[in-house]
């Protein structure tokens, strides 16, 4: 696979990941009602749209590969950092929910088992 083809494939997967992260943030915002996830969804969808625009631009301008690759590397560096930020937000979500107290109807309580013997 050539570097150009790999670049296009990487843009496609990054776009799908950005859309997936945005959908997850919307879902968490609907469930939790936390506005920070709505901001994450907006940022993810904006990144996905920017990746689509960039992918079309790159595909049309592949003839001048040397100049485009320098721009592409910096753009993908930003895209990777935004994906890492999404993973960090997901990790924070898991950490926050792992520390929440259990709802009373889901608590495991000590029960007198002698009546079953």
For the chain, what are the domain ranges? 3-99
Question: Whole-model pTM above 0.85?
Answer: no
Q: What's 102's DSSP letter?
A: P
Dist CA 22 CA 86 (whole Å):
9
Residue 48 has pLDDT above 70, yes or no: yes
- Other beta carbons within 10 Å of 91: 10
61-99: pLDDT as tens digits: 776 666 666 677 777 777 777 778 778 888 888 888 777
Cα distances (angstroms) measured from residue 86 to each of 66, 74, 77, 103: 30, 19, 14, 28
Largest CA distance in the chain: 82
Query: Measured at the alpha carbon of residue 75, what is the angle toward residues 69 and 57, in degrees to the nearest 5?
Result: 65
φ and ψ of 65, to 5 deg: -60, -40
Instruction: Return mean pLDDT, the chain.
Output: 79
């Amino acid at each position: 696979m050539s570097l150009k083809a790999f670049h296009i494939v990487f843009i496609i997967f990054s776009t799908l990941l950005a859309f997936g992260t945005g959908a997850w943030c919307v879902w968490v915002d609907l469930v939790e009602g936390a506005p920070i996830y709505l901001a994450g969804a907006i940022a993810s969808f904006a990144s996905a749209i920017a990746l689509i625009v960039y992918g079309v631009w790159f595909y049309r301008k592949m003839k001048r590969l040397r100049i485009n690759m320098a721009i592409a590397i910096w753009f993908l560096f930003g895209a990777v950092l935004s994906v890492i930020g999404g993973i960090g937000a997901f990790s924070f979500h898991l950490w926050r929910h792992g520390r929440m107290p259990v709802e009373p109807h889901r608590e495991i309580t000590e029960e007198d088992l002698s009546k079953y013997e």
